[in-house]
Structures are given as C-alpha cells and as structure tokens.
C-alpha cells in the first residue's frame, strides 16, 4: 500500500519524490536518499526492495524507524541477527493451500461474531491472487481428449471445493480468483499476475509477495521479490500483519560463460541446487549476478528461482534488467506500463546491467559457476539435490541398488540384482527389471514455464518418431503444461503431434506427477513390480522426488529436463549409458543413439523466436478469469458467513477457535509428555502431512468409508485440505515414515504405556483419552519440503504441544509457532544420541513464565536426564503469537478488541 493508506510518520516524508510519465504524476519512495550513495550502492538489490517496503510502510507501530535504519545498514546488521518487519505488496494462494486459507477466514468470521465483533472486518487488506491450480490427477493420459476428461473428473470430484472458493471470491474483498484449468499457479503468476511495479492510487512501488507454496520463489526470476510462507502466516499478512523476519545474509552467486549446446536450464538448476545445498544457504537470500546472467532468458532464470526450496534459500533473486522488460513485452503486457516500470526502477536503483561490474553490490559471501561447465544431469533417486551426470547414471543407479537403504540406496541383495519379470500388456510381451521406467512425466512449474526445454522435448520427440522409435505402451507418459500458452507454441511449431505419438498427450494444466497425482499404473505393471520386488523408476521434469511422493510403486524417482524425460521414456530404463548404448532401433533396423536425435540449442532457440509470440499470451490471458462453462454454472452462496454443511467430507469449519475467549489464557505446562514419534533427519512435510492419494487402509480411509464413500471417490489429501477430520487422520500417514519407535517404514507408532503398535492418529487419540501430553522428537532439517500448513495444523490436532529437533526448515518452524506449538532445538552439536534417548521417556519442558526469544531452557526426563535446548522463538512477535495460541487467534482478538 502507499504511505497515504498507512499511518506514515513524518520521518519518512523526506524520502517521497515524484515522477512524471505519460502526462501523469506519480509518487514514490526514493530509496537512494535513505542512506549515503556509497552505502546504497553496496546494498544487494533484494535488500533494496526490503528497504523500500519498510520506508513506505513505516507507521511507528508495526514497522518502526529502527527497521529502516537496520535495513539501510544491512552490511553490518545482517551479521547480528537483527529482526525487521516486512509488508509484501500482495499474497498468492493456490488451490490446495487456498482452500484452508478461505476456510480459516470463514471460521474467523464465525469466531469474531461469537465474541461480539463485526465479522465483515475479516477481509484481506492487501491484494490476494488465488489460482485454482487443481493438481491434475492423471486418470486419462494417452488420448487426444485426456485434458478434457481429466478436467471433467476434477469437477466431478471437487465440485464442492470449487463452489466454496467461488463463494470466497464473492464474500471477501481484494481477492482475485483464477478458475480451474488455467495453469500452474507459479506460471500464471509469472506470465500474468506479476506487476513488477505496482501502481496504487498513483503511488509506485516494487511488486513483492509471499505465497502459500514454497515454489512461490519462481517469481524472483522476473525480479519480483517473493517467497513461500506457511498458510497460517500468509493469512496474517492478508489481514494486514507485517512479517517478522531476521534480516538475511545475501549470498552472491556469480554466473559466467554460456550454457554448452548439450545442456539445458534444468541441468543448470540441478547443478546450482547441489552446490548451494552443500554451501548451506538456509535462511539466506541468494542473488545472482555476473555476465552469465545476461545470457539466460527469464524462463531460464525462473527455473533456477523455482528450485530455491530445494537448495534451501529463502529466495534466488535476479534483479530486473533488459531481458525482464523484453519478457514483459513477449507476454503481452501493456507497453506504456513497461516503459513506466523501466523509468521507475532506473530512478530508484533497482535496474541492473549484469555486464557492468560497477553495479555489483556487496554480498555476505560469493559463489561462482561457469555455465559452460554444466553437463546434462538428473537428480535422485530420492532427493532433488542429489545430482547425477547423465553419463554416470547407469553406474550410479547400479550402486544405489546395492547400497544400504538410505537416500542413495535400496539394499537389494546381490542374488536379486538380475531379477526380472515377464508380463503382457496391451497385446504385447514385456520384461521388467530393476531400473525400468514406468512413469515419464513432463510436469511441474519448474520446467513448463520454459519454452526452450519444452520445445526441445517436442523436437526430440519429432526426431525420434521420424527415426521410427516408440515408447513402450505400459510406460505412463503425460504432459501437463503450466499454462495454455504452452500448447499454443507446441502446436504452432508442429511438435505437439509428435509428443502425442510417443504418448505425451496434454492431460491438463496444473501440478501433476510432482505432487503425487500421477494416477494409477496399469494393474499388470503394478503386479510385475510387486512380484519381482523391483526398483522401478519414475522420470519427471519436476522439483520434488521425495520417497513415497510420486507413486507407491516407484521407489526410484529422478528429476530431469523435459528432453531427458522423453529420452528415458524411449529407452524404457535408467540402466543405459547414452554415450555407448543405442536408445533404440530405427525403422531401417539400425541402432539409433540419443546424439542422433538430440536437437541443437541453436535450432531450439530459432524455433522459440518464431513460435513464442505475444498474441498467444494475450489470447490465453484475456479470458482467464471467466473460467469454463462448468465454473460459470457453479451457483455459490452469497452470504457473508459460510453455510457449513456438517455432512461435507471436503469443507468443514475447523476447531482452531473452538472455546476461544477474548482474554489470554495462561500457558499450560508441558509435563510428563510422551513422544508420539521419535524421528531421524530430513523428515519432510510429505512425511508429516502427505499429498497424493489416500491409502485404502489408513485412518482417513476408514473415516471416509464410514461416511459412505467408496475408495474410488477418496480423491487426494490435497483436495480434502478443507476438512480437518481427514487431514488429522492423514497426519504422519506417509508409508515411508521412519519412526524409530517402530523400527521399520510405516505410518505407525507405539502407544508407549502398552507397547501396542497403532496408526499414529489412533495412538494420539488414545493418549488424548488418557490425558497425556505429546511431543515429537526429530533430527536435522525437520519440516523440509513443501510449505504445508497442515504439517503444523495436523500435529496440533493430534495433541502435539512441542517439537524437539536438531534443526528446522524455516517455513515449518514458523507454521508450528502459528499453531501454538513450541519449537525446541538441541544445542549445537547435540542430538537425541547425545543424551542416549530411545523415545520412550516422559518429557517435562521447563518453560519459564517469562520466555524470551532464543533463550536456553532444559527438559527433564523420567529417566533423570536433563536436556539443554534452545527455544526457537526467534523474535518478540513470534513469542506474542505463541502466547495467543497462534497467529489467527491473535488477529481475532485484535479485531474484536
């Protein structure tokens, strides 16, 4: 918002300037005047965006003058862990996280009314863009109308959820909703929603945002500062709260050279992901600079920024340059607005020339990469930062087979390495063995925003078809573009038909295999994998390949460029050395090698120039808010309060505000708590609150069956995020969960008093009936992965009062606090092994009445052990949220009082 819409103090008036453009006068904050010219020139461009925001929003209450001073003196203060407050310009929600946000807002209206307040005061204060990225469930893949059939199925399954969101669009102000079937939220954000520079009542300021998906970071490729937050924190921002954050260190990542002809932007990002994960950039900004950046398209940069959560940084930022302006032109943005964007950004020192070293700011530390050194790569088989060069793939996978079970191992006995199973499918005989590819998906916002790799995949498919190559019919192939624009240029370039001939039919426009919506494999394929206990593979152009996420039958999953997805689909196995072994046999009976059909980067770029045109973007996005006939026909309620249906299995009023009082309640001590789970390292939000399909044998399934649903109508956890009963039962329901109390992979735990093995939900309910408090004990990087609010809401509903971990993923720790769960951390160098814990102890958390951010406390156990740990309330604001029982409780009390 502009200063005139906040309670701006006179101390910031001195920084207000005016700019004339097109006959109109605009106001703006001149951040070049906030500090000395030398000090300003040393500020990273990402920090300059933070500086503009704190100056513009300084009100002496939420954001104070010391926030301005701290950001302006970033070079010094970033070393001291200084806290600042930041108000982004807007919030982005996607379907799966948007539904619980709208549910919470609807429930907050109920709570405000119950406490005697005005429910209509619950409205987003800042602009909210909600894209119904409905995550395509691939029930239909190899057919011309696969996309139409899948979308019809989505409306059939999710009619109630879509109806609820349409109600939200009417009920709440400042909320723009993009209907289903339009595209992936991050690509729609990049191609359509991004402002780059806001014009609000003739105030100019940089576009910035937070989003409820961790891959919100993709927008940094366009020079828009944005990152993922938990849904709970996003809701607070929607209500006008500033984000409390520690002023980040900024890693400068220098790019030199140009990408070699055989490599792609996907190969670049997998290399960068590995490098930065090894450096350790969690909680830091990464800002790219150097002459190599100028050679990258905005789509290339967006691919790198999208993978930011996988390398662990808060953002991967590319300041705006001429390439950014050309992209705005290519995507049919208004020409006068583009000129205004350029004029404003150059005026305030936010426009970059990457070839000019004099514009390079000061960084906390610097890394460097020669783009020419990049080689074709994949990542896997279980983590996105485990990069493997294509030329080493066969050898690496062979080693993974025999390595002990872990991130790079499957523990296959030597006598089972040559296991194979013959099976019949589609009238043909096939043989499956370890490494056989059964899923090949061009999916996810990581790559489908990038015309270079999408056209490259199409051209590879064309060359393969012309050489007489085919993909085995049992391989589940699919293509899920990030927006309708992709199909335009694939058709115009003439390559879509060749992709379809290889089975890569368009199945829809949204997240897909990357989020676990690959759909069922043929029964014959599932049986062959099971009979042979085979390590079958998925190859996908996504960004997440954690265990159990892609498909329960694919133990190995590799991230790759769309071009390599096509290549491995043709080969039918990852056990191939493309340099030495042919990918198949052509119609002439001769061997065809991958190099024979691989399109050159120059050919791809020439095709891109001819076929990716502004009128395509204009055509697609001119009608995007209208939706299809099915969306138009939804008759949503028009009431201010939502008329909850108690029989609904999709949307229910959550219990978060039940029995809430206007006055703060005293903190209930955590005494003699049992560990609900005793976990190791790298427990992701997938393990805590799984996406994908609902298993027939889990607690959530039993709940749905009792309500008359058959398994075919279970749908996914993501689609049922608006129902707390389903999500509580889905918490810790991942089949790959490794709970040390159980000793094997399973969504199970031990009810410690009896020693009985139970589903996690059932054990939690038994503890609740017994009046026993619960904690979770975990290792490093607890809560990494997607920023799911239910990974905090679910444990809260199970009765978890605290988590004791070796370290946390940034967003998840925030989400825990947002739900009133205490995040505790072992001291540096210590963990559960240090204290010889077995998880069966009783834990008493000695939290004092007057807690301070970052203080050290102790936990005593029933075995007489005393554990020293740090309370991970990092700021006073986080502590305030906790005392209120969570962010939303705090907001309700503020509104009512």
d(CA 897, CA 886): 17
In this structure, what are the phi and psi dihedrals at residue 162, rounded to the nearest 5 degrees? Answer: -65, -40
Q: Which pair of structure tokens corresponds to residue 375? A: 């080689």
Residue 236's φ and ψ, nearest 5 degrees, are -65, -40
Cis peptide before 381 (omega within 30 of 0): yes
**Would you say residue 719 has pLDDT above 90?**
no
Name the helix (H) or strand (E) containing 446: helix 445-448
d(CA 862, CA 842): 5
Between CA 165 and CA 177 the distance in angstroms is 8
CA atoms within 13 A on the CB side of 656: 39
For 282-327, the pLDDT digits (tens) are: 889 999 999 999 999 999 999 999 989 889 899 999 999 999 999 9
CATH of 247-319+354-374 given 3.90.1640.30, 3.40.1060.10, 1.10.3720.10, 3.50.50.100: 3.40.1060.10
Q: Answer whether residue 474 shows pLDDT above 50.
A: yes
Give tens-digit pLDDT for 770-781. 999 999 999 999
Q: What pLDDT does 620 receive?
A: 87
pLDDT the model gives residue 4 = 39
CATH number for the region 412-620 comes to 3.30.499.10
Domains 88-198+206-242 and 412-620 share a fold: yes
Average pLDDT, the chain: 91
Task: Label residue 397 by pLDDT band (50, 70, 90).
Answer: very high
Q: Are 585 and 488 in contact (CB under 8 A)?
A: no
Does 144 have pLDDT greater than 80?
Answer: no
Name the CATH superfamily housing domain 88-198+206-242.
Answer: Aconitase, domain 3 (3.30.499.10)
Which of 434-448, 747-761, 863-877 is predicted with the least confidence, judged by mean pLDDT?
A: 434-448
pLDDT over 90, % of the chain: 70
Going by C-alpha positions, the residue among 538, 559, 556 that lies closest to residue 547 is 556
Q: What is the 3-state secondary structure (H, E, C) of 455-499?
A: HHHHHHHHHHHHCCCCCCCCCEEEECCCEHHHHHHHHHCCCHHHH
Q: How many helices (H) and strands (E) does the chain have?
A: 32, 34
Task: Please name which of 485, 466, 453 lies closest in space to residue 565, comparing C-alpha atoms.
Answer: 453
* Residue labelled with tokens 């999916």: 443
Which ranges in 200-321 belong to alpha helices (H)? 231-238, 265-279, 298-306, 308-311
User: For 670-689+731-896, which CATH superfamily applies?
Assistant: Aconitase, domain 4 (3.20.19.10)
Q: Poorest-confidence range of 134-148, 268-282, 346-360?
A: 134-148
265: Cβ contacts below 8 Å, ≥ 6 apart: 259, 296, 297, 299, 300, 303, 304, 447, 450, 452, 453, 561
Per-residue model confidence as pLDDT tens digits over 324-339: 999 999 999 999 999 9
Quote the pLDDT of residue 135.
Answer: 62
Neighbour count for residue 534 (Cβ, 10 Å)? 24
- Is pLDDT above 50 for 507? yes
Residue 663 has pLDDT above 70, yes or no: yes
- The tens digit of pLDDT for each residue in 509-549 reads 877 777 777 788 999 999 999 999 999 999 999 888 887 78
Cα 806 from Cα 832, distance rounded (Å): 8
Q: Residues 827-856: pLDDT tens digits?
A: 999 999 999 999 999 999 999 988 898 899
**Hunting for tokens 């790559």 — which residue is that?**
447
Find the mean pLDDT for residues 492-506: 95
Q: Where are the domains of the chain?
A: 13-86, 88-198+206-242, 247-319+354-374, 412-620, 670-689+731-896
Tokens of 753: 């008093």
pLDDT band at 695 (very low <50, low <70, confident <90, very high): confident
Q: What is the pLDDT of residue 9?
A: 42
């Amino acid at each position: 918002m502009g200063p005139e819409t906040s309670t701006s103090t006179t101390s910031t008036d001195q920084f207000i300037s005016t700019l004339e453009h097109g006959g109109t006068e605009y106001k703006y904050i001149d951040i070049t005047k906030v500090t000395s010219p030398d000090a300003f020139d040393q500020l990273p461009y990402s920090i300059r965006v933070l500086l503009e925001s704190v100056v513009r929003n300084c009100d002496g209450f939420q954001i104070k003058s010391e926030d301005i001073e701290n950001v302006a003196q970033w070079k010094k203060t970033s070393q001291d862990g200084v806290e600042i407050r930041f108000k982004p310009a807007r919030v982005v929600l996607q379907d799966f996280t948007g539904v619980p946000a709208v549910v919470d807002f609807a429930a907050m209206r109920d709570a405000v009314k119950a406490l005697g307040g005005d429910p209509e005061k619950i409205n987003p204060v800042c602009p909210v863009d909600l894209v119904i990225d409905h995550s395509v469930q691939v029930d239909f893949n190899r057919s011309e109308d696969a996309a139409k059939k899948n979308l019809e199925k989505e409306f059939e399954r999710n009619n109630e959820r879509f109806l609820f969101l349409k109600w939200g669009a009417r009920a709440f102000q400042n909320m723009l909703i993009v209907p289903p079937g339009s595209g992936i939220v991050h690509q729609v954000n990049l191609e359509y929603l991004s402002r780059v520079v806001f014009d609000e009542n003739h105030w100019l300021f940089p576009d910035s945002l937070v989003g409820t998906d961790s891959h919100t970071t993709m927008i940094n490729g366009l020079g828009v500062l944005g990152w993922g937050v938990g849904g709970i924190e996003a809701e607070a921002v929607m209500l006008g709260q500033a984000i409390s954050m520690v002023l980040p260190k900024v890693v400068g990542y220098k790019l030199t050279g140009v990408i070699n002809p055989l490599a792609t932007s996907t190969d670049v990002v997998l290399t960068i992901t590995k490098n930065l994960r090894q450096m350790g950039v969690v909680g830091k900004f990464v800002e790219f600079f150097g002459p190599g950046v100028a050679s990258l398209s905005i789509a290339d940069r967006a691919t790198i920024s999208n993978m930011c959560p996988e390398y662990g940084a808060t953002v991967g930022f590319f300041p705006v340059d001429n390439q950014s302006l050309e992209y705005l032109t290519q995507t049919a943005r208004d020409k006068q607005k583009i000129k205004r964007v350029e004029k404003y950004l150059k005026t305030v020192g936010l426009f970059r020339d990457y070839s000019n070293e004099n514009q390079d700011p000061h960084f906390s530390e610097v890394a460097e990469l020669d783009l020419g050194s990049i080689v074709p790569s994949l990542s896997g088989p279980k983590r996105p930062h485990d990069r493997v060069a294509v030329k080493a793939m066969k050898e690496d996978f062979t080693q993974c087979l025999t390595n002990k079970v872990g991130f790079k191992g499957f523990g296959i006995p030597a006598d089972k390495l040559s296991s194979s199973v013959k099976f019949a499918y589609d009238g043909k005989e096939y043989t499956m063995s370890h490494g056989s590819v059964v899923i090949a998906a061009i999916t996810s916002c990581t790559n489908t925003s990038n015309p270079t790799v999408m056209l490259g995949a199409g051209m590879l498919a064309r060359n393969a078809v012309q050489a007489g190559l085919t993909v085995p019919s049992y391989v589940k192939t699919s293509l899920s573009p990030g927006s309708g624009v992709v199909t335009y240029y694939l058709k115009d370039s003439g390559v879509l038909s060749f992709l379809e001939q290889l089975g890569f039919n368009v199945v829809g426009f949204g997240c897909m295999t990357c989020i676990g919506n690959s759909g069922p494999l043929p029964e014959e394929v599932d049986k062959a994998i099971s009979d042979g206990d085979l390590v079958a593979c998925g190859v996908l152009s996504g960004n997440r390949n954690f265990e159990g996420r892609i498909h329960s039958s694919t133990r190995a999953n590799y991230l790759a460029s769309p071009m390599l997805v096509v290549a491995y689909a043709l080969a039918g196995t990852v056990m191939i050395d493309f340099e030495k072994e042919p990918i198949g046999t052509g119609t002439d009976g001769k061997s065809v090698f991958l190099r024979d059909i691989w399109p050159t980067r120059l050919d791809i770029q020439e095709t891109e120039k001819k076929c990716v045109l502004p009128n395509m973007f204009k055509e697609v996005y001119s009608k995007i808010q209208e939706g299809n006939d099915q969306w138009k026909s939804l008759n949503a309620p028009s009431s201010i309060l939502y008329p909850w249906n108690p029989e609904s299995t999709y949307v229910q009023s959550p219990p978060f505000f039940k029995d809430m009082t206007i006055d703060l309640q005293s903190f209930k001590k955590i005494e003699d708590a049992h560990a609900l789970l005793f976990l190791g390292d790298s427990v992701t939000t997938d393990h805590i609150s799984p996406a994908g399909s609902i298993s027939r044998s889990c607690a959530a399934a039993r709940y749905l069956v009792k309500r008359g649903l058959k398994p075919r109508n279970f749908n996914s956890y993501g689609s049922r995020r608006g129902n707390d009963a389903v999500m509580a039962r889905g918490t810790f329901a991942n089949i790959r969960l490794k709970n040390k109390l159980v000793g094997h992979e399973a969504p199970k735990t031990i009810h410690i008093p009896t020693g009985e093995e139970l589903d996690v939900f059932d054990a939690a309910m038994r503890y609740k009936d017994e009046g026993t408090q619960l904690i979770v004990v975990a290792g490093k990087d607890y809560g990494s992965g997607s920023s799911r609010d239910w990974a905090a809401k679910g444990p809260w509903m199970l009765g978890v009062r605290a988590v004791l971990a070796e370290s946390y993923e940034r967003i998840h720790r925030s989400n825990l606090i947002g739900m009133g769960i205490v995040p505790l951390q072992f001291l540096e160098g210590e963990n559960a092994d240090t204290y010889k814990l077995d998880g069966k102890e009783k834990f008493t958390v000695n939290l004092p009445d007057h807690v301070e951010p970052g203080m050290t406390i102790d936990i005593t156990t029933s075995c007489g052990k005393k554990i020293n740990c740090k309370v991970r309330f990092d700021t006073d604001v986080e502590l305030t949220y906790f005392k209120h029982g969570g962010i939303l409780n705090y907001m309700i009390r503020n509104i009512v009082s």
